[in-house]
Each structure stands twice: as C-alpha cells, then as structure tokens.
Amino acid sequence: MVAKPPLMPAFDQARIIKRPCLQCQRQSCAGVILCVILQRCCHNWPNHAGAESILKDQQRIEKAYLDDVRQSLYASLAAMRSRLSSVVAELQGQPDVLADLERVAGALQALEASLSAAGEHDDDTALARLRHDQRNHIGVVEGYLEIVLDDLADDAPQAVALREIADLSRQFHVALEKFRRPNQQSDDTDPVSAIFKSFRRGLSSGPRSAEPATILVVDDNDSGRELIAQQLQRQDYLVVEAASGERCLEVMRSARPDLVLLDLVMPGLNGYEVLQAIRDDEELRRIPVVVISGVQDEVGAIHCIDAGASDYLIKPVNATLLNARVSALLERKAWQDREREYLAELEKSQRFIRKVFGRYLSDEIVQRLLDDNDGLTLGGERRRVTVLMADIRDFSTISLQLEPERCVSLLNNYLAVMTEVIQAYRGTVDEFVGDGILAVFGAPLREDDDADRALACAVAMQQGMAKVNARNVAEGLPAIEIGIGLNTGDVIAGNIGSELRSKYGVVGHNVNLTSRIESCTAAGQILASPSTLAFSRVEVLCGKRISVSVKGLDEPLELSEVLGVGLPYDLLLEGRDEPWHRYAQPIAMHMSVLVDKRLGAERLPVSLHACRDNALLVACDTALQLPVDVCLFGPDDTLSLYGKIVGQEAGNYELRMTVNPSLHAQLLALDSRDAK
C-alpha cells in the first residue's frame, strides 16, 4: 500500500500549484488543488472525476465561513447601535455632544449599508475593498467617540456606555480582518497595499495609460520615418508622421502627442530650431522630445539637451533601445502629468481655503497658516501696531426698535462695507464684537506706514458710512453713525486660546486704551492718541483736541480729532465746517448725564441755540467734565435724543449725536413754535 503524503495546510493553493501532486505526479489538473484541500491524494478519484463537485463543496465551505464572520460583524454593529441609542436619549440637553454622536450613528449606518451591499460571490479584490471602506467608517466611529469622551466626565454613566461602544468597535475591527476567503492570508489584494507596493517596485511599474500613447515621428527621409513608425506600431503605439519642422509644430499644437521623435537635419526648420520653438511655448515644452541624428557629435548632443531635448539617439536606432527610451520617457511624462494634476488640485484646495477663511481672517493670516508649519502654535510676540476700534453710536436703542432679523441685516450691511475698507488699506480684522470692529495695522506683517494706513482707513470708513446708510434706507432700516478710536503702541500678537480652539489676535494695555479712546468719540468722529500722530508720516488735518482722564494713566490723555489725511491718500471728512444754524429763539429742554450707560437721576435745564449736521449748541449752567454722554428731553418728554458732549464753543457745549431723519424737522418745529 502506498503511503499517504504528509498533511499540508488546507487551501494552500499557492504552494501546491508550484509542484505536482505527491501521489499522481500530475501538475496541470484540478486534482493538484483538491489533493491538498481534502488532505488526500487525487488518485482516490480515477481520472480526477468528481472535481467539479469537490470545488462546489469548497465554495460552500467558503460561503459558510464568510457568512459566519458577517453575522459576527452584524452582531457587533447591533450592540453598538443599541448602546448608542440609550446614550443619545440621556444627552438630549447637550447639542454639541449630540452632533458628534450623530456622526457616530451615521458611520454605523454606513458600516451596515456597506456590509449589506457585499455580494455572496465577491472576489478577493472586492472583499479587500470592502475591508478598506469598513476601516474608514470604523475609524470615524472611534475618532468621534474619543472626542465625546473627552467632553464628558470620567465617572459619567454615559461615559461608561461609550467606552463599551469603543470596545465593541475594536472587536469589530478584529472580526473585520477575518472577513476574507480562507485561502487568503494577507492583504495582497488590498487596493491600498497595492499602491504602496507599486511605490516599492519603483518607477518601472508607474502609471501606464489604458489608451495607447501617441508618438509624433518627424523626419524628412520617408524610408527612415516609416521604419521608426513601424517599430513603434509593433509596440502598440499610435504614430503620427511629419516630414518637416513646420509640420511638426502644427501637429504638436493640434494633436498634443505624448512624445516626439525629431530628426536633427531637415530642410526649412531644422531640429535645433524646432527645439527652440518648443522651449518658448509653455504648453509644448511639457512634451518630451527625443532627437534622432545620423551625426555622432557629442557637442551637438549637448546643445540639443540644453535646448530642451529629453534624449539623443544615433541612427540607425536599435529597436530594443528605442522602445526602452520611449517607454521610460512616457512613464516619466505620466508621472509629471499626474504631479501637475496634483498641484492643480492643491492650488484649487488652497483657493478654496482662502475663500472660506478669507471671510474670517485677513489674507496675511491665511497665508501664514498655509506657509508656516508653526502658524497654529499657541503664543505670541511683542509688536508695535496701530489699533483701530469702531462702534455704532446708540446701537442699543436701535437694536431694541428692530426685529432680530432686521438688526442682523443692518449689521451685515455695516460690517460688509467696513471690512472692505479695512482690507483695502491692508488692515487685519481682529474680531467683530457685536456692533464693534477691532482692526490691527502691523500684525501679522509690519510695515513702515502702519499708522498712516490706519489714519487713512479711519477717514475712509467714515466716508463709507454713506454707502452703508444707502443700503439701510433701501431696505427700510435706520441710518447709523460710528465713532472711531486710534492708538499706537506695543501689544502681544499671536495665536490666543487653547489647543482645541484658538484665534489670531492682539492683547495688551494699548488694545484696552484704544477701546477707551473709542468710547470718547461722538457719532461721525475720529479720535487719535498722541502716539498714533507721532508715528505717522502723512499730513493729518486735526480738529479739536480734548483732554480725557483714562483709567490706568496718571496724567490726562490729549486726544486729537482727525478730519482728514493728506497725500498719497487725500481724504477729508465732509460737513465739519458747515456754519451753525441759529434758532430764532433758544429751545428750552432738559438734559440727563449718563453714568455707565444709565440715565442719571438729575435733569439739568438747558437751552439749544444752534445746530449743524449732527451737532447741537447747548447752553448749560452746570460745569461738565468732557467728554460725557447725555440724553436730551423735549417739552413734556415728547422728544429724547442721545449724544455726547465733545467740546465747548462760545461758552456753550457742542453736542454730537446720532441723527435720525426727523431730528432737524422736530427741532425746527419747536423753534417755530417758540418763535410764535
């Protein structure tokens, strides 16, 4: 009796195919595989009869195995979804956490859908693709679970359930690796693994287009041109012929071949002149050119390479060598084309990033984030900057009178125009705080004219309010006015916040000082600190100067009203030199001083003597510390106006206020009534 062969691992088809059956010595029959699958010699089946039946048994075994793994995956998914549902029900009051859990639920749903879509007869490549996709989805589950667990307390009951889901996801991952045919022991068919292997094999296995490459053969000698064309056609290349240099350039521009074989000596345009024309054309220079010449001239070959040729061959050209050179150049071109596509996609992505982040950050900050590896590192550096702060006058009253949606429309009209102006003067919008704007000149990039641009920007912003109010009036919204404060000094500029959330900004005493300067402004006014004027090199037209006491400073701060800036900006605020309109009779009113934005209890008797633009000339017997916010009350409280007293003129106080369209009409009506 013949001894049976030693037992070998089941389904080891790869090894068996390399050698004959140990019993029957037959190598090319189905029994070669069956001998090992059943751990018996195929001689038990004369003439290998019944092989088809045995193969069906193998398929049933494989199907049963895959179904078993599939059911274990379904069980893990069901357990994860069940626990997730209970956690979601308990966290209804935490929208941020629920948003992350919804992503987990979506990934679990995608896992189940992907698993359900897998067919019973999928080959190894399809199963590898399925495992690849499933790893992506389970990675989403585990990633968002980690985020939610970081947000919850360690001892929270929901955290315990989420950790159980995380454990189940890891079990799912282990089971997923078993979801392959029993004879497949590695991920050789995994598409991702194949990509890495292609890199390890080197460029020789690079991308080869499914379509045949187009090669242009240029030679004035018909027989030589046809010979090379025939050699290339035998390698399944698509060949186009040209008999002159002029025709070569025409075909290159119209057909865009993948490679050009160019004879050097031709009537009309010779090969060297064609190379120069190709080099001067941005599109054509991307096409590789091989010069073929019957002249063995080393210097000539060097000149051709310098002119842009990719290679230089001597006639007669060996067919094998020609094919090797052509194949290598086409492969290199394919990689270069792919690299250009990648760079184009990268540029497209950067444009998208700029477009999205440009709505929140200046171009300089976006560029820094894209270029600097440390662009997101927390921390800052000391910089001398000019800080600009702007605020809508009497916005609290306006917002109370408008529906929230209309209030947002008003703000959007205002912020859109102001942001345009700030960026036009190369300022950085640090942040919007309600109706306030904080802009910086000198960070992240410092320039010598930071203070000049900030001053010009402030005047341009006041001029831009006409455009803002035109939009507001067209939408039935009230007209608004702003005050602007400017200050120059050292701040800390950098990324501020935490590793989870941060922003580029500026902090320090000079930022706070700018805020206090801005609070001293009246509607339509610009106030600048002495330091801003000192660092400016442009001519500045200043109006009144006011002395204010500022918290944190021992001495009063002298502020200057900015009315315009000289060349190269040449900007001037309008309406500041209008003459006063004198009332026929002083208009008797009362006035209350605002303390911390609240009306004081005392009402002071005052009289209005004149008006111009948004300013009133007010007589009051009580001495006031300027600047000061006040509210005027008309007879019987029929009229109330908020404003700021900014100075004195001819013994009276100058009161600037946010003017509504009916202000002058009401005051003139009072003036006419008093005159009668």
Is pTM beyond 0.85? Reply is no
pLDDT at residue number 484? 95
Pick 249 or 199 by higher pLDDT.
249
Which CATH number do you get for residue 458? 3.30.70.1230
- Do 568 and 585 share a domain, yes or no? no
How crowded is the C-beta side of 358, counted as CA atoms within 13 Å?
Answer: 10
- Stronger pLDDT, 615 or 365, i.e. the higher one: 615
**Inside any domain, residue 373:** no
Tokens linked to 490: 């050292």
ω into residue 627 within 30 of 0, thus cis? Answer: yes
Residue 374, SS3?
coil
Share of the chain above pLDDT 90, in %: 21
Q: Specify if 204 maps to a domain.
A: no
For 605-625, the pLDDT digits (tens) are 888 888 877 788 889 888 887
Residues 612, 468 share a domain: no
pLDDT at 198 over 50: no
Residue 568, preceding bond cis, omega within 30 degrees?
Answer: yes
Q: Tell me, what CATH number does 129's domain have? A: 1.20.120
- Eight-state DSSP code of residue 637: G
Tens-digit pLDDT profile for residues 314-340: 877 777 888 888 999 999 988 888 888
Give the range with max mean pLDDT: 89-98, 245-254, 543-552, 652-661.
245-254
Same domain for 487 and 402, yes or no, is yes
Phi, psi of 292, rounded to the nearest 5 degrees: -115, 120
Note the helical H segments in 545-585: none
Do 143 and 274 have their domain in common? no
State whether 447 and 538 are in the same domain: yes
Is residue 249 domain-resident? yes
Q: Same domain, yes or no, for 307 and 396?
A: no
The pLDDT value recorded for residue 638 is: 64
Name, of 218-227, 294-303, 637-646, the range with top average pLDDT.
218-227
Distance between CA 110 and CA 130 in Å, rounded? Answer: 12
Domain boundary among 310, 337, 364: 337
536 & 621 share domain: no
DSSP symbol at 42: G
- Are 532 and 597 part of one and the same domain? no
Examine the pLDDT at 480 and tell me if it is beyond 80: yes
DSSP string, 196-261: HHHHHH-GGG----SSPPEEEEE-S-HHHHHHHHHHHHTTT-EEEEESSHHHHHHHHHHH--SEEE
> pLDDT at residue 502 above 70?
no
Rounded Cα gap, residues 128 and 106, in angstroms:
22
Residue 81 lies in a domain: yes
How confident is the model at residue 188, as a pLDDT? Answer: 47
**Parallel, antiparallel or unpaired: strands 615-620 and 652-657:** antiparallel
- The Cα diameter of the chain in Å comes to 141
Question: Rounded to the nearest 5°, which phi and psi values hold at 638?
Answer: -75, -15
Highest mean pLDDT: which range of 17-21, 74-78, 531-535, 572-576 = 531-535
Do 548 and 557 contact (CB within 8 A), yes or no? yes
* Pair (559, 539) in one structural domain: yes
Could you tell me the pLDDT band of residue 24, with boundaries at 50, 70 and 90?
A: very low
**pLDDT grade, residue 564 (50/70/90)?**
very high
Give the H/E segment covering residue 465. Answer: helix 450-474
pLDDT at 387: 95
How many domains, the chain?
A: 4
Domain boundary among 553, 572, 591: 572
Average pLDDT over residues 480-509: 83
Q: What is the pLDDT of residues 269-302, one digit of tens each?
A: 888 889 989 888 888 888 999 988 776 677 778 8
4 falls within a domain:
no
Average pLDDT of every residue of the chain: 78
pLDDT in tens, 382-421: 889 999 999 998 888 888 888 989 999 999 999 999 999 9
Check whether residue 399 and residue 546 sit in a common domain. Answer: yes
Of 541, 572, 603, which closes a domain?
572
SS3 480: coil
Q: Could you tell me if residue 43 is inside a domain?
A: no
Please give the residue that has the higher pLDDT: either 17 or 457.
457
Do residue 134 and residue 230 come from a single domain?
A: no
Spell out the SS3 assignment of 148-208: HHHHCCCCCHHHHHHHHHHHHHHHHHHHHHCCCCCCCCCCCCCHHHHHHHHHHHCHHHCCC
The domain containing residue 294 runs over which residues?
214-337
- pLDDT digit string (tens) for 126-166? 777 677 577 757 766 776 787 788 778 777 778 888 888 88
Among 357-361, 482-486, 497-501, 513-517, which stretch is predicted with the lowest mean pLDDT?
357-361
Which residue, among 278, 229, 284, has the nearest Cα to 257 in the 3D structure?
284
How much is the pLDDT for 176?
80
Give a yes or no: residue 128 inside a domain.
yes
**Domain co-membership, 434 together with 535:** yes
Any idea what the CATH number is for the domain that residue 665 is in? 2.40.10.220
Is 293 a member of any domain?
Answer: yes
Rg (CA), the chain: 41
Q: What is the CATH classification number for the domain harbouring 327? A: 3.40.50.2300
pLDDT band at 370 (very low <50, low <70, confident <90, very high): low
